[in-house]
Amino acid sequence: MKARVLSGIQPTGSPHIGNYLGALKNWAKIQYDYESIYCIVDLHAITQYQAPAELRSRIVELAGMLLAIGIDPKHSTLVVQSSIPEHAELAWMLTCVTPVGWLERMTQYKAKIEALASAASETSIGDGMLQYPVLMAADILLYQAGIVPVGDDQRQHLELARDIAQRFNSLYGQELFVMPETHLPTVGARIMGLDDPKIKMSKSTAGSGHAVSLLDPPATIRKKIMRATTDSNPAVDFATMGSGVKNLLAIHQAFTGWDDAAMKTHFEGMRYGDLKKTVAESVVAAIEPIQQRYAEITADPGYIARVLQEGAERVTPLARDTVEKVKRCMGLYSR
């Protein structure tokens, strides 16, 4: 029996090279060693307002992109979170065993409310922002996933999922939930914004020079990378380089797989203009085959819907089984 892996991505914008290098590339790699469930987490996306028509098309675009980067529906299950009502159902049951103090301590929640408060906008903070980690715990525990590959920013939420599972098990006196492991040994690169290398590249961050989308045409990729923020040095100096140059080198290394020695030999002393040209070409070369597959996949109008339907059918029995067990355990009514 292969161990079960669960991972998710939000349809909050066009997937970018940070998503690819930090997560998606690894998803495609590990799908042969694990029983993998990859979830487009649209219920998480709506913790912040999403324009409905845009969200609907982004879900399909993201599914197409996951197939294009190599997720193989014969080996992995691709599913949209909101198509399985048990995610939300289990989330409610888990909400009821989660102390609110645990949620208020989450650093991502604290950072988000601080950011919203300092933006002095009229936007109120939705309860979903606080409850988000419980929904994430439900995603994991619903499928009894043993392994959840996450970046550093999600590690605290995964610990919380373990705490919630433990609390449920001890409250109801049953070992109902499998304890998820916090990570896989392979960790992807963390890619920073091209316009501001102090913040991570994000789908929802505004600015045309911030992220390279996996769907950007080659000319756009070249333009964005040529405009990337560097520092006041004229050329690469590994001893003193700033975070912008480090980020460009990290992108190149992650796409090409060059080792540290090869990177130093090739780039030390290279002028920034040439560095950017080299990085842009390595990104274009890596992304072009993905874009070709994406074009093929989307040329068949029914294909993505069929994959998502099959995915939903495959995981539904698992989800129903967990929810039934939880209901019985809690004393809820079952037909």
Contact of 298 with 64, CB cutoff 8 Å: yes
Closest C-alpha among 287, 258, 313, 279 to residue 24: 287
Closest C-alpha among 234, 240, 244, 237 to residue 268: 237
- Least distance in Å: CB of 197 to ligand AQP? 11
Pick the stretch among 17-25, 270-278, 290-298, 325-333 that binds ligand AQP (CB under 6 A): 17-25
7-17 residues labelled b (16+ CB within 10 A) or e (exposed):
bbbbbbbbbbb
Contact of 13 with 55, CB cutoff 8 Å: no
18 binds ligand AQP (CB under 6 A): yes
50 binds ligand AQP (CB under 6 A): no
Give the residue with the Cβ less far from ligand AQP, 191 or 228: 191
Dist CA 20 CA 13 (whole Å): 13
- Least distance in Å: CB of 202 to ligand AQP? 3
Contact of 153 with 107, CB cutoff 8 Å: no
Nearest residue to ligand AQP by CB is 22
Give the residue with the Cβ less far from ligand AQP, 18 or 64: 18
Sign of CA dihedral 112, 7, 57, 294: positive
Give the residue with the Cβ less far from ligand AQP, 12 or 322: 12
Dist CA 279 CA 273 (whole Å): 10
Dist CA 255 CA 37 (whole Å): 25
Dist CA 202 CA 210 (whole Å): 8
- Least distance in Å: CB of 65 to ligand AQP? 12
22 binds ligand AQP (CB under 6 A): yes
Residues carrying an active site annotation: 112, 200, 203
The SS3 of residue 50 is coil
202 binds ligand AQP (CB under 6 A): yes
Which stretch of DSSP H or E encloses residue 7?
Answer: strand 4-9
9 binds ligand AQP (CB under 6 A): yes
87 binds ligand AQP (CB under 6 A): no
Phi/psi of residue 323, nearest 5 degrees:
-65, -40
156 binds ligand AQP (CB under 6 A): no
Give the residue with the Cβ less far from ligand AQP, 37 or 191: 191
- Least distance in Å: CB of 174 to ligand AQP? 31
Give the residue with the Cβ less far from ligand AQP, 12 or 229: 12
Among 65, 84, 135, 201, binds ligand AQP (CB under 6 A): 201
- Least distance in Å: CB of 49 to ligand AQP? 12
How many residues make contact with ligand AQP (CB under 6 A)? 20
Dist CA 56 CA 188 (whole Å): 28
- Contact track, ligand AQP, 160-199, x by CB under 6 A: ----------------------------x-xx--------
Output the CA angle 270-221-186, nearest 5 degrees.
80
Give the residue with the Cβ less far from ligand AQP, 146 or 151: 151
Note the residues at the interface with ligand AQP (CB under 6 A): 8-10, 12-13, 18-19, 21-23, 150-151, 188, 190-191, 200-204
